[in-house]
Amino acid sequence: MPRGCLDGSTAGALEQEILRLCDAGFSSIAIDLRALQFTEPAGGRLLRHLGELAGRRDVTLAAAPDRRSAPSR
């Protein structure tokens, strides 16, 4: 689970972990984004890129929304 921010300096670690899980044979991967304080544009581009990579490997990639996009109660 990424924490703090998802930006150019942290995106590589998330990408490597998702690729490791794909290579290990997982057919479905969920990324929990609730612990993020913010996502920079590089983080958004990474998530889109990972979705494309997962699709090419027949892996379902899902992301739990970050705290900002959670509905208010």
Q: What is the mean pLDDT of residues 26-34?
A: 91
- In whole angstroms, what is the distance from residue 5 CA to residue 37 CA? 6
pTM equals 0.77
Listed by start position, the domains of the chain span: 4-68
| β-bridge mates for residue 38, sequence order | 5
Q: What angle do CA 22, 55, 62 make, to 5 degrees?
A: 75
Classify residue 57 by its DSSP letter. T
Residue 2 has pLDDT above 70, yes or no: yes
| β-bridge mates for residue 21, sequence order | none
> What fold, for 4-68?
Transcription Regulator spoIIAA (3.30.750)
22-33: b or e for each residue (b if 16 or more CB lie within 10 Å)? beeeeeebebeb
pLDDT tens digits, 32-67: 888 888 888 988 899 999 999 999 999 999 987 655
